[in-house]
Amino acid sequence: MLRDAIRDAPDETVMLGEFYSAKTLYEAVKAYEPDAEWKRTVCSRISSPRSLGNILVSQREHRSLTIRQEGNTNHYRIQQSTGSVQLITVDAIEDLFELPCMANMAERLDEQKPVRKDLYNFARMVMWLPQYQNSDLDTIVEDLKGVFSRWSWYDEQVTDYQLRYEFSNTIGGDTPLPMNCGNDDMQRYCIGEDQCPYSIWGSLPFPDEMYDQLDETASTGSEF
């Protein structure tokens, strides 16, 4: 979608293959008037230069994106490419299964109980969904139990204990970041980043606070 916005920018104010600030690219997005409904939805979710910059930083490994720091400001170069990252609207936890890796995880859970890393990753993702940012723990746990109850191995008491234990695990008081596509545990379910139109950090509607914490973690060299 961003490539289309750049291509359609009036008077060639921005061009593919050149470096621009998030503010300049955001102006191109604001001016872009796509015909497709899904593209209009994507544009509406990019609410500020900061949110656009957060999305681009989350995709720093993408082969068509180059990030160059100039002073205290990042500049971004978008190259021509046939691939792009699709965003996902998450109205319910089950919408996470639109990610191919999460769909593969769900298939595995049809056959056997989750290993702890699976449960931990699931909890991490849900922790950061916008609709749960101001929810109490009981609400989140009950909604997750509603998802897990579809599987034959489900035990309400055991699952309740395990979920509450995972939510009690913080890193220096901060909510743990969700695992991204390159994480070894997620690689078990990955269909191949070259084959997938999604990415965890780029496709899910995580709030700006998550990306701020990601930037801080990267700057300090912390592991997550």
Which residue in 7, 12, 46, 55 sits closest to 210, CA to CA?
Answer: 55
* Other Cβ atoms closer than 10 A to 200: 23
What residue ranges of the chain are covered by domains with CATH 1.10.10? 2-84
Please give the chain's pLDDT, 224 residues, in tens. Answer: 787 788 888 777 888 888 999 999 999 998 888 877 767 777 887 889 998 988 888 777 666 788 888 888 899 888 765 445 788 889 999 999 999 999 999 999 998 888 888 888 888 899 899 899 888 999 999 999 999 999 999 999 999 998 998 888 776 667 788 888 878 888 889 988 778 888 888 888 888 778 777 766 554 433 33
CA–CA gap between residue 122 and residue 187 (Å, rounded): 15
* Overall CATH class of domain 2-84: mainly alpha
Calculate the alpha carbon distances from 154 to 114, 140, 184 in Å: 10, 17, 26
Q: Which residue has the tokens 């990252």?
A: 85
Residues paired with residue 21 on neighbouring β-strands, in sequence order: 75
